[in-house]
Structure 1
C-alpha cells in the first residue's frame, strides 16, 4: 500500500544516525530527506518512503539504529530502482488528477495489467496470483489511479483465529492482498474503492462473509483508509523477520516460487544466494483489519492479543 505515512511537514536536518522508530514518524528527518531524493530523481515520494522503510531493517544494528549515510544510500538505491520500475509501466497508469466523483469503478480490471503494475510499483513487487482486481480509473483514458486485488484468504493462522473467535468459516473470508494508489489519486480514493469492492463481492460472491487485510506499521501504515471505509481492527499478528535475497526484500512465498523451498540454509547452499534476515525484535506487530460483507462491522473492545506466527 502507498498511503502517505507522513505528509509534508518540514523537519530539522540531522548529521547523526536515526532509529527505525524515528524513521516511521511524521516529523522524522528521514521524511524530509526522502522528499528531496524523490524530487531530484522524479519518483513518487510515498512509494519511495515505503520501499526504503522496508529495507532499513537490513542495515540497522541490533538496537534499531541506522547510520545516516546508510539511510541516505538506501534512499538513493530505492529511488533509482523505483525510477526504473516507473518507466516500465509508463502508459499503463494515469498521470492526470481528477475529482473523486469523476473516477470510474472497474470491477473486472485487466489481470495482466494489474500484475504488471503490482510487480513493478507495489513495495512487495509482486501480484497475488488468481486475484480479482479492482480499480478506480480516470474518465478520459481509463487508466487506474487506485488499484487493489482481492482473493480467498490463504493465511491459515488468521483464518483459524477468525473462525475460532468470530465463528466465520475460513472458506468464507476474502483478503485484500494488494493496494496501490498513485500520487494523482484524490483524497479518500482508497476508502471509496474499498467500499465499492465490498458491494461488488456482495453481489458476485454471495457466500463470502468477511474481508480482511494486514496493515504493517513498520512501513508507516496506520490503516486510516480502512477505518474511513468502516473496517475495524480485530487482531494483531506478531512480526516475522524481514528477509532479503541479495539485498532485496523477499517474501517466503516468493522464495518458494523461485526455489521451490523457503528453507534459507538450503537456498544459500544449493543456489549460492545471499540471504539476510533482520530480527523480529526490531519490528512492530501488524494489524488485521476486517470488514463484514453484509451488515455493520463491530468493534473489538479491550486489548488485542497478538497471534504468534
Structure 2
C-alpha cells in the first residue's frame, strides 16, 4: 500500500464524531440492513473506537467497519431480548403521555440499549409513552447526585448542597420519537420534581461529546452548561466498555494496574486524548442562570 493511500484510509476520532461523517453513513446502512436503532448503533460504535484508536486518535477505515459490525451484532441481540418494549408506531409529540415508568422495564431498556448497559439503582424513572400501546418513546432516570467533585463545586460556586441536587443519570430515546421529545420529557420531569420532591433544588447531567452528544436537548429545555470535567481513559473488559462503577461491582476495584495484573489480556485502556465532559444544570424553581465560559470551572476527576 502506498503512503498516500494509507493516509487517505486513516480517520480521526474527531472525524467520526461529526454528524456528516463516514461513520454516520456506514451506521445508517448497517442499521437499515439489520433492523437496528441507528442512533444507538452510532453511540455504541463511538464508545468502542477509542479502544482501537492510536495515541494520536487515528484509526483505519477497516477498524471503523469492524467496530460497527461488532457493535451491530451486540445491539441486534440486545434488541431481541426486549423486543416487546420497543415501540414501532409513530405519534405526535402532543399525543404522548408523561408517566412514572416501571422500574423493572426501565432497567431492562437501560441495561440492554443504553450505551452504559446498566440502570442506576434507586432512581425515579419517567417516560413519554404512546397513548395506544403505552410503550416508552423516550425515558430517563433521576437519581441523587453522587459525583463528589460536581457536588463540591455546586456548593462552593452556586450555594447548592450536593444532597439537594439530583442527576439525570440515564436517558434513552428511540429513533421513532418525534422531534424535541427529550427536551419535552425534561421539562415534564422538572415540573414533577418541583411539585413532588421539595428537597431537590437542582437537576444536573453529564454530557459526553466523545459519543457525539452536544447537549442540544438540554439547551432546548433551558438548561445551562455550568462546568466541565477533565476526561479519563475509557476502560474495556474483553473488548466491552466498562464504567468504574461496573468494574467495582464486578471485580471489587476499578484500579487499572490491579485489574491488568489479575486479568492479563482482558483489560484495555484507551490511549487517545478524549474530550471533556460537560455538566448541564437546571434550577428546579425559578430561572436557571447562564454561566459565562470564563466562569465555568474545569474539574479534575
* Same fold per superposition (TM over 0.5): yes
Q: How does 1:1-309 map to 2 (within 5 A)?
A: 16-106=9-99, 108-271=100-263, 274-279=266-271, 282-303=273-294, 304-309=296-301
When the two chains are superposed, the root-mean-square deviation of aligned CA atoms in Å is 1.3
Q: Is the 8 A contact 1:267 1:273 kept in 2?
A: no
1:84-131 CA-to-partner distances (Å, cap 9, x unmatched) read 10111111131111000110100x211011000000000011000110
CA distance in 2 between counterparts of 1:271 and 1:73 reads 25
Structure 2 unpaired stretches of 5+: 1-6
Q: Is the 8 A contact 1:209 1:294 kept in 2?
A: yes
**Is the helix fraction higher in 1 or 2?**
2
- State the shift of 1:79 in Å: 0.6
Q: Secondary structure, in 3 states, of the residue corresponding to 1:91?
A: helix
Q: Secondary structure, in 3 states, of the residue corresponding to 1:190?
A: helix
Q: Is the 8 A contact 1:151 1:177 kept in 2?
A: yes
1:169-224 CA-to-partner distances (Å, cap 9, x unmatched) read 11100000000000110001000100010011111111211000000001110000
CA distance in 1 between counterparts of 2:256 and 2:290 reads 39
Q: Is the 8 A contact 1:15 1:68 kept in 2?
A: no
- State the shift of 1:270 in Å: 3.3
1:226-270 CA-to-partner distances (Å, cap 9, x unmatched) read 000000000111101101111100000001111121122333333
Q: Secondary structure, in 3 states, of the residue corresponding to 2:25?
A: helix
Moved over 6 A (4+): none
Structure 1 unpaired stretches of 5+: 1-13
CA distance in 1 between counterparts of 2:217 and 2:67 reads 28
TM, length-normalised to structure 2 = 0.95
Aligned length: 294
